[in-house]
Amino acid sequence: MLRRTFLTATAAGAATLAVPRAFAQGLPAGPIRIVVGFPPGGGTDVMARVIANKLGEMWHTSVIVENRAGAAGVIAAEYTAKQPADGTTLLMTNISNHAIAPSLYPRLGYVVERDFTPIMLVGVTPNLLICGTREGARTLKDVVDQCRQRPGKITFGSSGAGAAQHLALELFKLRAGVDALHVPYRGSAPMLTDLIGGQIDFSFETMTSATPQIQGGKLMAIAQTRPARARTFPNVPTVAESGFPGFDASTWYGLVGPARMPAAMVQKMNADMNRVLAMPEVADKLASYGAEDGGGSADRFASFISAETAKWAKVVKEAHVKV
């Protein structure tokens, strides 16, 4: 009897040791994927990799970034919405597929409020109005003048139809009363290559992916699109202070999972992600890309998404944006 009790206890202890530490903490038992709806090198991808590395260390499990590019992040969002709600598949979402797409795509394969579980806002960044170093424009007024002199001919690239860069352009066209040609790409990386090469004229690119090219001297920043200047680019004026008061076309990033994730798991993930954002090396990295105002509760992120969705639905309607 004693021998049987000892064996039972030993087996139970071994089973406990065999349980992955992450599962014991209320997290998924296996590797975790963070799906990104854009190719490597873009803003969403950069944010995902910064977070994934630290979460992997904290959770003692593999946190893998998986790129599923296409349709300005919609393909990745549709994929994630159909995955099990066990926390093994998350989405580094952004403004494009979570706030803009619902107004653009009449047959979108998901409903944001129904099909996702908000976890945490990672950061909000300005877009930068950028151009090649050979471009003659140096101020926002120069850009407006070019658009008025050659209506419908000045080209603005984006990471895809319906992406943040695209809608920033549409808002700019509305406010400035100009016409310009939108040129969508399959991600920021190929768009930036053409911008550097002079195949297109401008872009309202995310600060995250534009910053390395500006620091490398390959591109120039003309203006930024949040109401106040980012600490990283204190000498670049905002669109708002350059003649268009109230102009705000921010890009944002956040982590969500499929709908109906366990509340305790969401709370644990949110707490740990807030800890990651507070790490000095992570805070410095995100700040270098102009990412601010991240963190907080899952409820805060849900309210933020709702407000952004309403804002961009109005722009889509007023600008008659079609994809």
| C-alpha to C-alpha distances, 263 to 19, 260, 267, 268, nearest whole angstrom | 21, 8, 6, 9
Closest CA to 129 of 245, 253, 240: 240
**Which CATH class name applies to 15-125+251-319?**
alpha beta
Look at residue 69 and give its three-state secondary structure. Answer: coil
The answer to whether 15-125+251-319 and 127-242 have equal CATH topology is yes
pLDDT for 225-252, tens place per residue? Answer: 999 999 889 999 999 999 999 999 999 9
Q: Does pLDDT of 322 surpass 90?
A: no
In the chain, the percentage of residues whose pLDDT exceeds 70 is: 92
Residues 188 and 172: their CA atoms lie apart, in Å, by 19
Among 88, 98, 148, smallest CA distance to 118 is for 98
Q: How is the chain split into domains, by residue range?
A: 15-125+251-319, 127-242
Question: What confidence tier does 25 reach under pLDDT thresholds 50, 70, 90?
Answer: low
For 167-197, write each residue's pLDDT tens digit.
999 999 999 999 999 999 988 889 999 999 9
CATH number 3.40.190.10 given to 127-242 = yes
Q: Dihedral of CA 308/309/310/311: which sign?
A: positive
**pLDDT tens, position by position, 206-228:** 998 899 999 999 999 999 999 99
